[in-house]
Amino acid sequence: MVGSAIATFGLATSMSVSGCGSQVTDGGAAVGVDGLPVVPDRTPHEDGWRWESSLGIELAVPDEWSVNDTDCNQTSAPTIVRAQGAVDACLTLEAPTKQIVEISPPDPWGDEQDPPPSAEFPRQQLVIDGEPVERIEGELADGRAAGWLTFTETKNFIQARVGDRDFLHRIFDSVRVVTVDTHGCATARKSMKLKAPRAKTLLPAEATEVSICYFDQDQELRTSALFEGSEATKLIELLNRAEPGRNPDVPKDLCLEEKPPLADTLLIARGASDGALVELSFSGCTRRGLTNGRTTSRLTSPMIEAIMQPLAVGFGYSPQGVE
């Protein structure tokens, strides 16, 4: 299933899909002898629940929960919010019965979390996988159980508004800090190195899974997705048919870019005997395309859509030079 997210955390029982043995990179991630991040055990936290990943944090939510159903035109259905990206501008009030969990970076303007934790709510100092955390719980005026987990050093935080305290505990008690997430993406960009397959193609045709790793310009993993089986094969075939070379640059009179942004997304293809790591660049005006460090290929709109849609993030690109 595209984007299915099931994993456990802890690299001691992990192994690489395409190589045995591992070493720890300067980004803290374990990589195999194939140079790719070691895939963690993907055991679900609970039956019928899945893992969601953002900013080096993972937590579990029920399978039926949507992703990023918040803000403009939101419904009352339960949702996990992470790495929204570009969003529509409108005001839709949150239903007082909506269950929502958010993984967020610190506000760049230094504003309080919304809604701010009440001074009357009990606070607890914890350590999760070596990271100091403040945990706050209470009840909102609408009757929902509310909670906040704030990571003291990074200031990343989780906030939740759910039906009752027991359900809140099930979610908060699942929280883990990871260096390689459930889909096999290293959470630090510097742990990801370009890799060409042995075959003279962009990706190895025999790979059985493709990890989609979406980074921000601070080189932190914002979220990820996973293609497996026939869906992985379909994506690999699409990308291996790409025309050689980079996409044409956007004309300078249509672009205000001072320098190309970092690659938007990294793809990791893994198979029993071969693997590859590919950069996908599309949001800038120059140096757009796909590369594994040896082979460089042009992107098309269907390729961008196929890769980005499972992430459920807002994104944009110039159609100039992209068919």
Per-residue pLDDT of 167-220, as tens digits, reads 999 999 999 999 999 999 999 998 899 999 999 999 999 999 999 999 988 889
Average pLDDT of the residues of the chain: 87
Q: Where are the alpha helices (DSSP H) in 153-300?
A: 165-172, 229-240
- Establish how many alpha carbons lie within 13 A of residue 264's alpha carbon, considering only the half-sphere containing its beta carbon: 23
Higher pLDDT, 33 or 75: 75
Phi/psi of residue 10, nearest 5 degrees: 110, 120
DSSP character at residue 145: E
Instruction: Round to whole Å and give the CA distance between 227 and 211.
Output: 6
**Which pLDDT score, from 0 to 100, does residue 109 have?**
52
Residue range 260-269: mean pLDDT, rounded: 87
Residue range 133-154: mean pLDDT, rounded: 94
Contact 138, 122 (CB under 8 A): yes
At residue 262 the predicted structure's pLDDT band, cuts being 50, 70 and 90, is: confident
Residue range 38-63: mean pLDDT, rounded: 94
% of the chain exceeding 90 in pLDDT: 65
Per-residue pLDDT of 234-260, as tens digits, reads 999 999 999 999 999 888 888 877 777
Q: Which of 48-57, 157-166, 284-293 has the weakest average pLDDT?
A: 284-293
Phi-psi region at 35: left, alpha or beta (left = phi > 0; alpha = psi -120 to 50): left
Does pLDDT of 292 surpass 70?
A: yes
Contact 24, 30 (CB under 8 A): yes
Does pLDDT of 135 surpass 60?
A: yes
DSSP character at residue 121: S
Does pLDDT of 16 surpass 90?
A: no
